[in-house]
Amino acid sequence: MNGAQDLGGMMGFGPIAREPEDRRFHADWEKRAMGLTIAMGATGSWTIDASRHARESLNPADYLASSYYEIWIKAVERLSVAKGLITRDELRLGKALAAPAPVKRVLRRDEVAAALARGTPCNRPAASPAAFKPGDGVRTRNINPAGHTRLPRYTRAKKGVVERVHAAFVFPDANAHGGGEQPQWVYTVNFSARELWGDAADAEHFVSIDAWESYLERA
């Protein structure tokens, strides 16, 4: 969706405040927010793409006024209510008012390290050959879905060149909304800065994105 999270190419937000790579948290509650998000994702109550959509569909004013982990927590709250794991009254009061709802899985403390090391691979067998190869000219489709998408707004309806063919991966646009995994080939596509930003852009600059096959058509 065209939400507040899709900031690429937008102006007026000021410079990026860079921080040291080893500074991952600013307060202890942020560690808890990350842990809670991972633990709830591990229950199987929703997919990672549904989690991303819950974040990006926050009211834009709320999204832009929230810190990184505040956005994560607000998404967990929204999903937990939507899935019937908690009620709005419980969320408001900060305590359970009934027995906990059952979940598919529970991530135990002694399982965390192994689970994080294992990760959650999202590559899948391809159902058909890749439609494009390195060097092919492509154009991104001009889509503006109300649901989740991983195609950045500033790259839509733009011409680029396929740089690399990866593999078939879970299609997030479907997986975010209960449509199943529907795996598609993913490509790295290279765009000139001038194609994206116009003649005022530096002719020597390029931008690459990873794009699912249905985002692309032959140019």
pLDDT tens-digit series, residues 200-212: 999 999 999 999 9
Domains located in the chain, CATH noted: 28-118 (1.10.472.20), 123-218 (2.30.30.50)
Tell how far CA 199 is from the center of its chain: 31
Which amino acid belongs to residue 126? Answer: A
Q: Specify whether the CB–CB gap between 143 and 149 falls below 8 A.
A: yes
Q: Which residues, other chains included, contact 98 with Cβ-Cβ below 8 Å and sequence gap of 6+?
A: 87, 90
Q: Strand runs (DSSP E) across 82-125, as ranges?
A: 123-124
pLDDT per 10-residue tile (average), the chain, 219 residues: 91 88 92 96 96 96 96 98 96 95 95 93 96 98 96 97 98 98 98 96 97 98
The dihedral over CA atoms of 69, 72, 73, 77, expressed in degrees to the nearest 10, equals: 170
Helix (H, G, I), strand (E, B) or coil at 82: helix
pLDDT tens-digit series, residues 163-206: 999 999 999 999 999 999 999 999 999 999 999 999 999 999 99
- Compute CA distances 30 → 19, 43, 86, 217, whole Å: 16, 20, 21, 41
